[in-house]
Structure 1
Amino acid sequence: MKRILVQCGQDQIEVAVMENDRLVEYDSEFRGAEHLAGNMYIGRVVNVLQGMQAAFLDIGLEKNAFLYIDDILPAHLEKHPKQKPLITELVTVGQALLVQVVKEPVGSKGARVTTHYSIPGRWGVYMPRADYVGVSRKIENEAERERLKQAAERQLQPGEGFIARTAAEGISESMITADLDELRRRWQIVEVQSSQQGVVPRKVYTDFGLLPRWIRDVFRDDVGELLVNDKDAHDTIVSLIRQVSPELCGRVRHIPIQTGTLFDRFQANTQLENGFKRKIWLDNGGYVVVDHTEALTVFDVNTGRYTGSIDMEQTAKDTNLLAAKEISRLLRLRDIGGLIIIDFIDMNAAVHRQQVLDTLESEAKRDRTKTVIEGWTRLGLVEMTRKKVRDGKDKITMTRCEVCEGSGWVWNK
């Protein structure tokens, strides 16, 4: 069963998703703070670099935002490099520009922004200037894909775009219409605010906060129950659900906690702590080591205490299959993005290597974040990518050691 836990503290709100009592997703937000991805700003161009085909904008954050040429070009020119103009022909220093954050600041890098605006809703993503209709790849039934596409096309105005989300499978056209009308109304507010005179830079649109975003993106028919420890948060959640899926209101329960926390009751805290360790043990005695670099994340699979009972090939296959499932869970839990390399235990049989890839691909279908599995490299590694929107949860839950600076080693004195 899928269960969502919402734990409200004095300074922080935390959300955990449990699947069959296993922690698979986690998010948190300090009260008064906000995520930046999805927000829109009127920014000021402060630098244009022709050699990089990019510009930097002051949008009011600590670091200037990065705007690449493909994030400002019309879609039909993005795929034709020879037809691309120079970035200096599109923007100039001092120009005010409406942009949307698509990737939050990470490390020393500022936010990445775009002029390809999009506003996500319950059933789809509205793109006011895209002139494109799409359907989530996770909806595999061709008849249903075509039905959703035609339903959206009938409701769109010239120049508008819409992508039906996975959750839209099976819903009526009237529900798509209602969702689209609400998203269009929000965009109209953005247009009005961005056209008005005011200080630059300034924010003109704020994406949903933690609880509304999770209700919009995660709370579906497949969720058996949502438990929350705070009565006010419970009432807020019920109010949000009543607007979009009133039939699901009965699955929300307020659980007063006298001692400990809601997370403690369902062992979420223990699983959260174990899930962020460098060495993750598998059920059969094998283990996975996780290492992060600036460029990529590496998973190293080892047999550990597991010796098997047949031969080394079978031992490797069994451990790798368990590791593939666990790595997929860790990607979601830690919200790891970017380039990912997995060093599985060597296997000689091609059929076993394919089984490991099939397991990764099957588990990736559970992931709400876009994941691309490239397959085995010539060196016997698995290469994959996962869309990176914000810094992984490692940065939220952990602090770099002041002694070894995260290397795991301390100089001998």
Structure 2
Amino acid sequence: MNQDILININPQETRVALVLQGAVQELHIERTLSRGLAGNIYLGKVVRVLPGMQSAFIDIGLERAAFLHVADIWEARSHDGQSNALTPIEKLLHDGQSLMVQVIKDPIGTKGARLATQVSIAGRMLVYLPQDKHIGISQRIANEAEREQLRSKLQSLLPPEENGGFIVRTMAEDASDSDLQMDVDYLRKTWAAIVGNTKSKPAPNLLHQDLNLAQRVLRDFVGEDTATILIDSRENFEMLKEFAAVYTPSLLPKLTHYKGERPLFELHGVEAEIARALGRRVDLKSGGYLIVDQTEAMATIDVNTGSFVNGRNFDDTIFKTNLEAAHAIARQLRLRNLGGIIILDFIDMENREHKTAVLAELNKALQRDRTKISVSGFSPLGLVEMTRKRTRESLAHILCETCPSCNGKGQVKTSRTVCYEILREVMREAKQFNPKEFRILASQDVVDLFLEEESQHLAMLGDFIQKPISLQVQTAFLQEQYDIILM
């Protein structure tokens, strides 16, 4: 199935949409002021070693110190296969020490970046591991004969004195010797520049920055099934052509400059898809729907039949809805970039064969996802538990912020609830102080309620405390906000 890649670029941000048969499958957004850090290599300085947690905080020049666990320290592991024990972190690091590190996970929420000391530099067909010595093959290449053939081909291209290791990516399956050699030369040259920077730059300092989003698209996203790559910026189209000419010449025929007057994302329905991806409800073609909720701890997806009643019987209706939902869930995970623990609540099914079929359909739909995923079967409660590796912020976290009205609760107190809180607060203040008058400052809805339905209660309170109570609308106040002024 052919896929199109749409790249919308302006000075403040780059947006990329992967479209398959007219449906948006993935959205990637990179803002100029907050480029992702994953893949960047830094010369950091150890700020604090925590033996009790077997971890350390590293200053890499960001607002928050980054986090390094002993399991992510290359030197802590045994590489001879004799032992799985890790060397204690206090024997490897000390405060003030300079250390080359790579970001493996961007800062998310209040957490700093996650680091590792094993460096990996990604090319189009290979990943270079300067500290390693073996040649690995992507797990997505399942055929053992093909794996051995690729390993032998790469080994024949490497000089005898080569110390680093490589991982062969799926892109290399049909690569020529010259393509592989170009990738090897590029990666070794990049590593030499990084090593040179460590000798000339003080810690903390950036040694190597990963490619920008548009360049990573050409490196990571484009495959044989990619039909066209549309770019709506003339300047960036020319820059990507130059990059492709050096790095991925085979992609040049697929690069196209979009010259239409109508915005590229609007023409292909991407803007509308973004708006839908920020909502809780996802409608299915059959009439069923999903409810997607994202919390700090996990994401949950609930499946409902809605108005779908086309099955032969109720069990058949449930089964068909769940099958359709499996594909929709896989797409929503990629589209929204949901990560971490994910709980799927399919409609309850009594038939074991139906459960097996739905699970198989879900796993099949998830195969197109490049992110590492682990799916368990149905739990005793009928839930499917899964994890999806989280390496960057979700779409909602990039585009949205906490609602100032509800502070993330998703609901606000009613005007009547706020009225009763104010009445209790006035009573409490009257017992402690003796002002001439109480003035209530509140939102328009709360004041309106005091003037109408709750006017009797307000008058009764005034008579009880024997003080006048006046009202004043504060247009800047949200519904839950109020103030009581003692005059």
TM category (shorter chain) comes to: over 0.9
Q: 1:4 Cα shift?
A: 0.8
Q: Which residue of structure 1 lines up, in the alignment, with residue 296 of structure 2?
A: 294
Q: Which residue of structure 1 lines up, in the alignment, with residue 259 of structure 2?
A: 256
Q: 1:149 Cα shift?
A: 1.9
Contact 2:218 2:248 in 1 (8 A): no
Normalized against structure 2, the TM-score is what?
A: 0.80
What is the SS of the residue equivalent to 2:179? helix
Contact 2:45 2:59 in 1 (8 A): yes
Normalized against structure 1, the TM-score is what?
A: 0.94
What is the SS of the residue equivalent to 2:237? helix
- Are 2:238 and 1:235 aligned? yes
Q: Which residue of structure 2 lines up, in the alignment, with residue 162 of structure 1?
A: 166
Distance 1:320 1:242, change over 3 A: same
More off after superposition, 224-233 vs 105-114: 224-233
Q: Which residue of structure 2 lines up, in the alignment, with residue 335 of structure 1?
A: 337
- Measure, in 1, the Cα distance between the counterparts of 2:175 and 2:360: 30
Residues 163-209 of structure 1 deviation map (CA, whole Å, 9 limit, x = unaligned): 1112111212332222122111101111111123x432111111101
- Measure, in 1, the Cα distance between the counterparts of 2:403 and 2:265: 26
What is the SS of the residue equivalent to 2:132? coil
What is the SS of the residue equivalent to 1:294? coil
More off after superposition, 102-111 vs 84-93: 84-93
Which structure would you say has the larger RCO, counting Cα contacts within 8 Å and 6 or more residues apart?
1
Q: Which residue of structure 2 lines up, in the alignment, with residue 200 of structure 1?
A: 203
Contact 2:311 2:320 in 1 (8 A): no
Q: 1:75-94 to 2 correspondence within 5 Å?
A: 75-76=77-78, 83-94=85-96
- Measure, in 1, the Cα distance between the counterparts of 2:24 and 2:306: 23
- Measure, in 2, the Cα distance between the counterparts of 1:338 and 1:293: 10
- AA at the equivalent of 1:395: H
Q: 1:113-124 to 2 correspondence within 5 Å?
A: 113-124=115-126
Q: 1:376 Cα shift?
A: 2.2
List gaps (5 residues or longer) in structure 2. Answer: 419-487
- Measure, in 1, the Cα distance between the counterparts of 2:171 and 2:9: 27
Q: Which residue of structure 1 lines up, in the alignment, with residue 377 of structure 2?
A: 375
- Measure, in 2, the Cα distance between the counterparts of 1:385 and 1:79: 29
Contact 1:134 1:164 in 2 (8 A): yes
- Are 2:190 and 1:190 aligned? no
- Measure, in 2, the Cα distance between the counterparts of 1:247 and 1:41: 32
Q: Which residue of structure 2 lines up, in the alignment, with residue 131 of structure 1?
A: 133
Q: Which residue of structure 1 lines up, in the alignment, with residue 228 of structure 2?
A: 225
- Measure, in 1, the Cα distance between the counterparts of 2:80 and 2:378: 29
Q: 1:135 Cα shift?
A: 1.5
Residues 220-242 of structure 1 deviation map (CA, whole Å, 9 limit, x = unaligned): 22111111211112112222222
- Measure, in 1, the Cα distance between the counterparts of 2:219 and 2:84: 40
- AA at the equivalent of 2:260: I
What is the SS of the residue equivalent to 1:76? coil
What is the SS of the residue equivalent to 1:328? helix
- Measure, in 1, the Cα distance between the counterparts of 2:279 and 2:26: 16
Q: 1:41 Cα shift?
A: 0.8
Q: Which residue of structure 2 lines up, in the alignment, with residue 390 of structure 1?
A: 392
Q: Which residue of structure 2 lines up, in the alignment, with residue 41 of structure 1?
A: 42
Contact 2:78 2:85 in 1 (8 A): no
Q: Which residue of structure 1 lines up, in the alignment, with residue 367 of structure 2?
A: 365
Contact 1:221 1:248 in 2 (8 A): no
- AA at the equivalent of 2:214: L
Q: Which residue of structure 1 lines up, in the alignment, with residue 29 of structure 2?
A: 28
- AA at the equivalent of 1:387: K
What is the SS of the residue equivalent to 2:343? strand
- AA at the equivalent of 2:184: L
Bigger radius of gyration: 2
- Measure, in 2, the Cα distance between the counterparts of 1:69 and 1:21: 46
What is the SS of the residue equivalent to 2:215? helix
Q: 1:122 Cα shift?
A: 0.4
- Measure, in 2, the Cα distance between the counterparts of 1:352 and 1:251: 42
Contact 2:60 2:205 in 1 (8 A): yes
Q: Which residue of structure 2 lines up, in the alignment, with residue 212 of structure 1?
A: 215
Distance 1:257 1:400, change over 3 A: farther
Tell me the percent identity: 37
- Measure, in 1, the Cα distance between the counterparts of 2:397 and 2:213: 18
List gaps (5 residues or longer) in structure 1. Answer: none
Distance 1:171 1:100, change over 3 A: same
Residues 119-176 of structure 1 deviation map (CA, whole Å, 9 limit, x = unaligned): 0000021111122322222222222112112223334555422111121112123322
- Are 2:321 and 1:319 aligned? yes
Q: Which residue of structure 1 lines up, in the alignment, with residue 413 of structure 2?
A: 411
- Measure, in 2, the Cα distance between the counterparts of 1:79 and 1:111: 30
